[in-house]
Structure 1
Amino acid sequence: MLVLFLKSNQLIVATILVPLSTLFLVNISNPLEVKAATEWSEEYDATEGKLHNVAVENSEAGYFGNGYIASWNGNGQFVQLEVSVPSAGAYTFVFNYSAAAGSATRYLSVNSEVVIEEVRFSGTGSWGDWQTTYVKDVYLTSGVNTITLGFDSAKGSTNWLNYDSLIVKEPSEKQSVEWDLKEEAELAQQSLEDNFWDNETSMFRNQYPDDEENNRFHYWWLAHGIDTLMDGYERTGNSQYIDKATALYAAVKERNGRDIRNDFYDDMLWMALALQRLHQFTNDPEHEQAVFTLWEDIKTGWSNEYGGGIAWNKSQLDYKNTPSNAPAVILATRLYQNYGNDEDLQWAKKIYNWLTDTLVDPTNGFVWDGINRTGDGKIDKEWEFTYNQGVYIGASVELYQVTGEEKYLNSAVRTANTAKNIFSNHNHIIYEGGSGDGGLFKGILVRYVTDLVKVDPSQEQLAQWIVDNAKNVWKKVKLVPEILFGSSWEGKNRLPIELSQQLSGVMLMEHAAQLEPIILKQTTSSLEEHIANYQENNQLDKVLAKKLSNQVKQANDHLDKGRLKQAVNHLELFKKHLEKGLDKGAITNKVYKAIQEILNKSL
């Protein structure tokens, strides 16, 4: 292994090699992809930059150029590249890296100005497992720009990182994902069927490509399989989703020894929630009875040790965690809504109060995992999972809906915003990876953030967060015909893809499709209100106001009929009228900027 060690006080300057210019061709692998398009791009070898207190290695294969930057985990270390672009404007940076020690962060500066304090590099499987992360909308001046990636703990820099190369490219609108994700959601569901469904067993396989030796029975994954199929049915009304969900339930029960119960209270809760939804559409008494059977068994997990709470499993009744309590609140509340049994509502409140008092950080609403896992009464505060945030949000939303008490809604909003801040990278993409059971965690968060936005449409930023994640992931998964969602929603997929990971991806697309019309409706409502106010205060020409109002009205008409793309077209026309009005002096610059800011939330 060749390693170049640099003295801590020595600054090494290397001559910048002429970068490779490339034309990217986007291949078509499904009908939603864009025809081949060209875009300007140049790749720079990180080892050819100005290096300060870092080392150069070349022992791991697959790097670009002469090697890669390594031995990088201390203050004052940085890599500086001189990049040249053809014109001033916004560019996208793509960093090629590996991070086998876990997630790392670095600051990014352009021409000596820090533009992002924490660029996040998610952990990779090994030092030879090269991944990419990107930073979009970086403004560069025409000609040469100085790009620095550095370590400064005061800015939040952490952990070891190998840095291989930087690609600078023009953003391509042709590769963007358009509004109206219903078609993408359907393709995701189709992939779930084509690549995971087993007609012989009437169950989903554990992974793609299939491994016959990987025949473990994942009861709770399959519960989410039923739930995800119900998402497809509610979007389309296609009875094939109901048929498949019904067959899956029967197969799970058969595989489970003809008994729907098992030893894990959280598993049973997910099955009960899925079957509760299924029963709403089948009206099959067997599905209803299964929910009752599960609920009666789940309640036996409650004990007064550590103040209350439902245990995680039947062999460790003094270990209580969020996954076995927040979903119990959701189930109990929905049972109360369906049957009006006040005892179920009391159970929901009792469990919720214990959970909030025991496992929720009172300062920011962050939800901890559990208490007494290791038998010492300790709370697992270091176990930070999207899963726990999602189910607590769901529990809070359900109680708000049945009681109307604002405290529950406020708790849901606070936890959701905390989760967004903690689990998002510099591009607002949820960075939590996960294999095995962890593959489901992000999808669970998405499901219940969506429920929150449905009851409180003013949470536009949360809605946009989910939609942005969906569009970001889709740009990646659409490049292969199988439509596969892996562990990461940021970088490259690695085979095999587990069922848990695929289900999370399908949940993301289904729920983003539900949130899009809410975002657009909030935009049109805000535009209507502002146009009326500005016209009343003589800040907007009447003729222009009429043209703008007409476009908003037509956008709303299309939204009411579920035609999102047509609605967006009218908002684009609105934008053109607005720009012409500014040119003609029919609107002040201040009012123009205010309306444009509202419009930019959608366009």
Structure 2
Amino acid sequence: MDAGSPAQRRAAAAEAAVTERFLHRYGPVAWAHASASEATGARTWHYWWHAHLLHVLADAETHRPDVRRRRLIRRIGRGVTVRTIGRWTTPFYDDIAWMGLALARADRHPRALRRISKRLRRAIDPDLGALPWAVGSELYNAPANSPGSMVLGLTGHPVDAARLDAWVASTLDDPETGLVRDGVEHGVVRSELWTYNQGAAIGSALVLGAPALAEPADPAWTHVERACALVHAVERWCAPDDGLFPGVGGGDGGLFAGILARYLAVAARELAAAPGPVADAAADTARRLVDRNAEALWQGRHGTLFAADARRPARPEDDDLDLSVQLGAWITLEAAADLERAVTS
């Protein structure tokens, strides 16, 4: 891949901005602080944000291989090891599922990935067939179950993966919009719609539908159809804003839109290789959404600072200073680079 191509240059600029502003190296160990501003708590460390930092670094390494980045990935892995006292886990099943996906993408720390997979399998409620949000929680939500399904599918547990995915589809899919609602707590559906839940559900459907991507007669084709339906539901949702994803500010929300972009790019790439007009149409839609949001983030940047919301320009204050926001923009730009790479390779 030509590292000087437009999308690659943009992704590389976002990468450089994040590493320069947020990463701190302590010999063989590195981690990222939560904000570029000392006044807003620059020494805060977030496990979940580091999962996405590792994941997007692995994406960048696929697109623009570099020995320095590989060294950085090793250092950040050591940082997570230090911060979690070697466990690589937290009490939150959504967080460890996202970390599992990062480790699978980076192809590193296989023992930690196996530990995460084992914990997720053990945490499935045998009656509901779903993961709780955290140890002891009564909330069962999409952010735990869709990533959890992907991790289990990628680590050789397809039955458990399908069980989690089926629970999301049957319980959280909104019959009116086709979008995935947030979760269920004490039997009551939480109806909030978040971008990352749509992305994770698309990713889960594609992991389960992988055997059918080359052969629609495979029973797994139903998962491919679900992925296509979710892509079109996202397009309808974003249509009033010209296809731009809704932003929800900083903090954890700064990552939400980027996660959607990541899995839309996966959908665009994988569905383009699948037979039939249904897959083709969804692939085109997914690509258009990724490109539209990446372009808006790039055009609205302030120097190399990106906005928490693609629908407005960046501003060097408040939410836009969060690592999560800048990671989310970088993930989106890396997704666009991935699609550009798929076309030119």
Spell out, residue by residue over 1:74-105, the C-alpha distance to the aligned partner (whole angstroms, 9 max, x if none): xxxxxxxxxxxxxxxxxxxxxxxxxxxxxxxx
How much has 1:300 moved relative to structure 2? 2.2
Find 1:464's aligned residue among 288, 300, 304. Answer: 288
**Does 1:269 pair with 2:97?**
yes
Higher helix share: 2
Find 1:328's aligned residue among 148, 156, 171. Answer: 148
Please show how residues 288-327 of structure 1 align to structure 2 within 5 Å. 288-305=110-127, 307-316=128-137, 318-327=138-147
Q: Which residue of 2 aligns with 1:360?
A: 173
Q: In structure 1, how many angstroms separate the alpha carbons of the residues matched to 2:285 and 2:5?
A: 16
Q: In structure 1, how many angstroms separate the alpha carbons of the residues matched to 2:341 and 2:125?
A: 44
Residue segments in structure 2 that go unaligned for 5+ positions in a row: 214-219, 273-279
Q: Which residue of 2 aligns with 1:15?
A: none
Instruction: Output the TM-score relative to the length of structure 2.
Output: 0.88
Please show how residues 344-383 of structure 1 align to structure 2 within 5 Å. 344-372=157-185, 375=186, 377-381=187-191, 383=192
Q: 1:216 to 1:208 in 2, by over 3 A?
A: closer
Give the letter for the 2:117 counterpart: W
Q: 1:246 to 1:425 in 2, by over 3 A?
A: farther
Q: 1:242 to 1:424 in 2, by over 3 A?
A: farther
Please show how residues 129-168 of structure 1 align to structure 2 within 5 Å. none
Find 2:230's aligned residue among 400, 411, 415. Answer: 415
How much has 1:508 moved relative to structure 2? 0.7
Q: In structure 1, how many angstroms separate the alpha carbons of the residues matched to 2:146 and 2:99?
A: 14
Find 1:252's aligned residue among 80, 84, 89. Answer: 80
**Does 1:484 pair with 2:308?**
no
Q: Secondary structure of 2:86's partner?
A: coil
How much has 1:224 moved relative to structure 2? 0.5
How much has 1:197 moved relative to structure 2? 0.9
**Does 1:397 pair with 2:206?**
yes
Q: 1:465 to 1:259 in 2, by over 3 A?
A: same
Say which one has the larger Rg. Answer: 1
Q: In structure 2, how many angstroms separate the alpha carbons of the residues matched to 1:252 and 1:222?
A: 8
**Does 1:503 pair with 2:323?**
no
Find 2:14's aligned residue among 169, 182, 188. Answer: 188
Q: In structure 1, how many angstroms separate the alpha carbons of the residues matched to 2:68 and 2:150?
A: 27
8 Å CA contact 1:425, 1:431 repeated in 2: no
**Does 1:451 pair with 2:266?**
yes
Q: In structure 1, how many angstroms separate the alpha carbons of the residues matched to 2:173 and 2:243?
A: 24
Q: Secondary structure of 1:199's partner?
A: strand
Q: 1:425 to 1:194 in 2, by over 3 A?
A: farther
Please show how residues 506-525 of structure 1 align to structure 2 within 5 Å. 506-516=330-340
8 Å CA contact 2:247, 2:254 repeated in 1: no
Q: 1:185 to 1:213 in 2, by over 3 A?
A: closer
**Does 1:435 pair with 2:255?**
no
8 Å CA contact 2:232, 2:285 repeated in 1: no
Q: In structure 2, how many angstroms separate the alpha carbons of the residues matched to 1:211 and 1:256?
A: 26
Q: Which residue of 1 aligns with 2:197?
A: 388
8 Å CA contact 2:33, 2:45 repeated in 1: no
8 Å CA contact 1:326, 1:352 repeated in 2: yes
Give the letter for the 1:271 counterpart: M
Give the letter for the 1:329 counterpart: S
Q: Secondary structure of 1:450's partner?
A: helix
Report the number of matched residues: 322
8 Å CA contact 1:275, 1:291 repeated in 2: yes
Q: Which residue of 2 aligns with 1:236?
A: 64
8 Å CA contact 1:394, 1:448 repeated in 2: yes
Counting aligned pairs with the same residue, the percent is 24
8 Å CA contact 1:370, 1:379 repeated in 2: yes
Q: Over the residues paired in the alignment, what is the CA RMSD in angstroms?
A: 2.0
8 Å CA contact 1:327, 1:391 repeated in 2: yes
Q: In structure 1, how many angstroms separate the alpha carbons of the residues matched to 2:175 and 2:209?
A: 19
8 Å CA contact 2:297, 2:307 repeated in 1: no
Higher strand share: 1
Q: In structure 2, how many angstroms separate the alpha carbons of the residues matched to 1:240 and 1:330?
A: 29
Q: Secondary structure of 2:125's partner?
A: coil
8 Å CA contact 1:486, 1:498 repeated in 2: no
Q: In structure 2, how many angstroms separate the alpha carbons of the residues matched to 1:436 and 1:333?
A: 29
Spell out, residue by residue over 1:529-569, the C-alpha distance to the aligned partner (whole angstroms, 9 max, x if none): xxxxxxxxxxxxxxxxxxxxxxxxxxxxxx34xxxxxxxxx
Q: In structure 1, how many angstroms separate the alpha carbons of the residues matched to 2:44 and 2:199?
A: 26
8 Å CA contact 2:153, 2:207 repeated in 1: yes
